[in-house]
């Protein structure tokens, strides 16, 4: 693996950094304070090509490799995790599934609209009683003439209130267990699709999050993504991409916490000198730097493996586990460096602390990532009784 960025990758990174600094960051505090989902910002990210970054150009995407995509997501995440959520959901969870599993007709219909931001998409896997046990879907899909009727509920669905298309996972035959799962490209503009905003979140206040009731929602046969029985594989392939984007965004949070802490420590004086001159403060900043660099390199390795066609589920889980835990740690330490000033949202570290906590939960908890890594290392699946 070559650690040097190509000229194109460097330009992509610099462009994303400028966009994050000049467009995303100035809106972040007010959007979070007002619990405002910024549809205009989502449209501007689409104009930049970020909502279809890894989608081939023939379908309206930017056609980026994964490492370049990771650079973009890092910069977006450095500015605002709520904005990064839009990129991760539309690009990694929704578009990547359609690219991998969709028919040519499905790709031609959905991908250009998602890439341009004309439509947003959401990923309907999690249910009130189904989180880590993704195969245990209570939502049911019943075959009817020309399609399927879907009934059930989904929970913690990012962009659920604003999506035009929803990837909905449902069980077609409980006796088949995970082999009966199917994924549907559901049109949300029907009475049976009933999203409700989830209030009271700890963080990601500028991100739209919904619970969704599905009451006789209809999906035609043409809206089945893959085949009946492919649903679990569709979900896992999307999560492989989603975990990469979450990890890259977490690196951005680490970098922001490091940058903000360094700048604050250099200018903040106590006992007649900058607090950056105190050994214990330098130790916190040094540890932030180490964790940031390590997390970034793990993300780059996962991206390189994706780009070179190598199996990478384990390496992606390693990157997701380390980067998200590192981001939580860095955000906590950054508040400590800032002291009382870090406890209010005048500094972005307060928002980072609240926003990044969920990254160790969604796209598979840290404990699930450890099980994936442990299974690869030992050959034993901890979720299956021995």
Instruction: Determine which one of 74, 127, 350, 363 is catalytic.
Output: 363
d(CA 271, CA 120): 53
How many residues does this entry show for the chain?
386
Both tokens assigned to 118: 């004309």
List, in sequence order, every residue forming a beta bridge with 209; answer none if it has no partner: 158
Q: In angstroms, what CA-CA distances link 237 with 101, 300, 338, 340?
A: 10, 19, 40, 43
Find, among 357, 364, 319, the residue nearest to 74 by Cα: 319
Q: Annotated catalytic, 363? A: yes
Residues 6+ apart with CB under 8 A from 40: none
Interatomic CA distance for residues 316 and 67, integer angstroms: 12
CB within 8 Å of 134: residues ≥ 6 apart = 125, 126, 169, 232, 235, 236
Find residue 165's DSSP bridge partners: 121, 187
List residues with catalytic annotation.
363
């Amino acid at each position: 693996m070559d650690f040097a960025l190509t000229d194109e990758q460097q330009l992509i990174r610099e462009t994303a950094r400028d966009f994050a600094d000049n467009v995303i960051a100035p809106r972040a505090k007010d959007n979070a304070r007002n619990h405002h989902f910024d549809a205009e910002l989502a449209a501007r990210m689409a104009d930049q090509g970020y909502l279809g970054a890894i989608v081939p150009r023939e379908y309206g995407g930017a056609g980026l490799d994964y490492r370049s995509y990771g650079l973009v997501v890092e910069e977006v995440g450095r500015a605002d995790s709520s904005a990064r959520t839009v990129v991760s959901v539309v690009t990694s969870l929704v578009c990547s599934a359609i690219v991998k599993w969709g028919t040519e007709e499905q790709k031609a219909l959905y991908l250009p609209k998602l890439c341009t931001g004309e439509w947003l998409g959401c990923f309907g896997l999690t249910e009130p009683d189904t989180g880590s046990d993704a195969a245990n879907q209570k939502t049911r899909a019943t075959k009817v003439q020309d399609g399927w009727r879907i009934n059930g509920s989904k929970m913690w669905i990012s962009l659920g209130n604003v999506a035009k298309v929803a990837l909905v996972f449902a069980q077609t035959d409980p006796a088949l267990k995970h082999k009966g799962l199917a994924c549907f490209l559901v049109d949300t503009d029907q009475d049976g699709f009933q999203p409700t905003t989830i209030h009271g979140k700890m963080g990601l206040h500028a991100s739209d999050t919904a619970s969704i009731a599905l009451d006789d929602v209809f999906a035609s046969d043409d809206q089945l993504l893959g085949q009946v029985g492919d649903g679990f594989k569709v979900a896992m392939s999307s999560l492989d991409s989603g975990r990469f984007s979450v990890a890259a965004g977490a690196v951005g949070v680490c970098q922001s916490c490091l940058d903000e802490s360094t700048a604050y420590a250099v200018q903040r004086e106590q006992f007649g000198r900058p607090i950056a001159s105190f050994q214990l403060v330098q130790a916190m900043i040094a540890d932030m730097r180490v964790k940031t660099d390590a997390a970034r390199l793990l993300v780059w390795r996962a991206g390189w493996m994706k780009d070179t066609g190598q199996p990478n589920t384990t390496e992606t889980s390693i990157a997701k586990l380390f980067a998200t835990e590192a981001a939580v740690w860095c955000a906590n330490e950054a508040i400590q460096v800032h002291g009382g000033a870090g406890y209010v949202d005048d500094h972005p570290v307060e928002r980072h602390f609240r926003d990044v906590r969920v990254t160790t939960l969604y796209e598979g908890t840290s404990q699930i990532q450890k099980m994936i890594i442990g299974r690869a290392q030992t050959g034993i699946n901890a979720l299956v009784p021995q």
